[in-house]
Amino acid sequence: MPRTSETVPRAMAKERFQSWLDAYLHGKLIDWKTDWERALKEAAAMWPGFPGAGVVLALFTWTESGEQHCPECTALKQHVFETPTFRYWVNVRHLECFKLDVGYPTPDAPSAWYAARHYGVFDDPSDLPIVLALRADDPLDHVLFGSLLGQMPPYTGEDADTWIEEFSAVSHLT
């Protein structure tokens, strides 16, 4: 018998769809941009109805020759950024995520290096990882950098839920 709207009650169909959507959003990998201008442009172009519209989560880490030399960077990646909770949160809010490895320069990211200098990332490399919340669609600030909403405190081993709460407070996301 073919499935019709009469054989599957509307509430059940909605519940199945929500279940599928939640599973998809928990599993969808984060598209970490490495192109600064692209991250800012895509954040600024986001439909304003999304909670994270116009916001860039900018991560500055430290590796040397592609090998991680920052234990806090590794811990943050494992305990927060690679979790289904974080992926779901980023995907639901439509945040743009940007990552720059300050110890492993790439020739295609000169503007990201200027932005890192602008925000003082190079002042003390022992402070890495540095996570900034930036607003990309603020017409009053310099287009190249976005406007700083806030900076996360140094990572001290929080779980994903706690880290998300702190980032939400720093960036004024709901």
Residue 44 belongs to some domain of the structure: yes
pLDDT at 93 over 80: yes
The length of the chain, given as a count of residues: 174
Q: How does residue 66 score in pLDDT terms, banded at 50, 70 and 90? A: low
Residue 172 has pLDDT above 70, yes or no: yes
Instruction: Domain of residue 38: give its range.
Output: 10-171
Inside any domain, residue 79: yes
Its pTM stands at: 0.77
Report how many domains make up the chain: 1
Residue 108: CATH number of its domain: 3.40.30.10
Q: Is the residue at 5 inside a domain?
A: no
